[in-house]
Amino acid sequence: MIIVTGGAGLIGSNIIAQLNTRGITDILVVDHMKNGRKMRNLADLNTRDYLDRQDFLNQIQAGHNFGEVEAVFHLGACSTTTEWDGQFIMRNNFEYSKVLLHWCQAIGAQYLYASSASVYGLAENGFREDRACEKPINMYAYSKFQFDQYVRSLAGQLEHQVVGFRYFNVYGPREAHKAPMSSTPFHFNNQIVAKCVCKLFAGTDGYGDGEQQRDFVFVEDAAAVNLWFFDHPDKSGIFNLGSGRAQPFNDVARAVVAWHKEHRAVNASIEYTPFPEHLKGSYQSYTQADISALRAAGYDGCFLSVEEGVSKYLDWLNAGDPTRLEG
């Protein structure tokens, strides 16, 4: 059996989709389904069972026998960067991850977990998997950073695979439930569908209008990295998971506009809105994953460009099912 926590989320559901393409359906989904719309991410997938995240934790701590567990993909977490209840965040993200880590070691299961590129903060020293580059600036980032530190502290003591992925800006199918936290391609598409215009931030930090740059990684590429490490249980470590390529938000907007012009004969426009005052000084105007460690580990898969990934995403997003556009 394979367990996917956060299995109804963006990355988790795409990992399940790729497992299904291999014929793997003996999957336990663990999630928090208070937002029932997340079920749409699972409705076309094949899994064996579902457990609420707290019930799953309770059963582990009670010594429940889940049978033979091959791997745990741990994506479940509170990812809200504006949540400042530190006690809640550390219990939900940090302590939960520790329990799963030690449980996987005890039962001999592979453990592949979600870290975050947010651990780099404003990235004054770059984006390498190195303590000198890490300076989290919110509780979510701190919880991910501290768990990475905990894993590092166990170096030489872990007998079974442990892999952490520092995700950069992931976008793609099965993210509508994230609502305001959904990706810019998702929001730009909805804006064009509604009013034939997509809106970007004006310039800041020395960048021109819409020229702030991020490392955008298509979710299917991110899931493929997870499955490569699943196939290579001898590989452990903490790795950046991005495309290794920074592109401006303007590229994303132009790709969405181009798709609608080609497929819907819609001539949409791009507008710039004043940069929010409350984000000044705490906004990442530039991110680009250093993926040299990922390549050194042996992963040689390709990552789609923004133009390629956005086109593929919008083909899926605008395929006729209105629930794909709803939060």
The pLDDT value recorded for residue 327 is: 64
pLDDT in tens, 43-91: 999 999 999 999 999 999 999 999 999 999 999 987 777 778 889 889 9
Per-residue pLDDT, averaged over 153-175, amounts to 96
The pLDDT value recorded for residue 77 is: 86
The pLDDT value recorded for residue 35 is: 86
Confidence of residue 113 (pLDDT cuts 50, 70, 90): very high
Q: Where in the chain is the domain with CATH 3.40.50.720?
A: 2-171+216-244+292-297
Q: Which residue in the block uniquely carries the two structure tokens 């039962």?
A: 107
Per-residue pLDDT, averaged over 19-42, amounts to 95
Q: Where in the chain is the domain with CATH 3.90.25.10?
A: 176-213+246-287+306-325
The pLDDT value recorded for residue 167 is: 97
Q: Which superfamily, per CATH, for 2-171+216-244+292-297?
A: NAD(P)-binding Rossmann-like Domain (3.40.50.720)
Q: From the CB of residue 83, how many other CB atoms can be counted at a distance below 10 Å?
A: 16
DSSP state of 276: P
The pLDDT value recorded for residue 65 is: 93
Least confident of 269-273, 301-305, 319-323: 319-323
The pLDDT value recorded for residue 179 is: 82
* CATH code linked to domain 176-213+246-287+306-325: 3.90.25.10
The pLDDT value recorded for residue 205 is: 84
The pLDDT value recorded for residue 95 is: 94
Q: Any alpha helices (H) in the chain, and if so which ranges?
A: 10-21, 53-61, 86-89, 96-107, 139-153, 184-195, 219-231, 249-264, 292-297, 306-317
CB 212 within 8 A of CB 285: yes
Catalytic sites, residue numbers: 140, 178
The pLDDT value recorded for residue 322 is: 65
Per-residue pLDDT, averaged over 118-122, amounts to 91
Mean pLDDT of all residues in the chain? Answer: 94
Task: Report pTM.
Answer: 0.95
Per-residue pLDDT, averaged over 87-109, amounts to 94
pLDDT in tens, 283-320: 888 999 999 999 999 999 999 999 999 999 999 999 87
Of 37 and 300, the structure prediction assigns the larger pLDDT to 300
Per-residue pLDDT, averaged over 15-27, amounts to 98
Sign of torsion over alpha carbons 148, 154, 156, 162: negative
Per-residue pLDDT, averaged over 128-140, amounts to 93
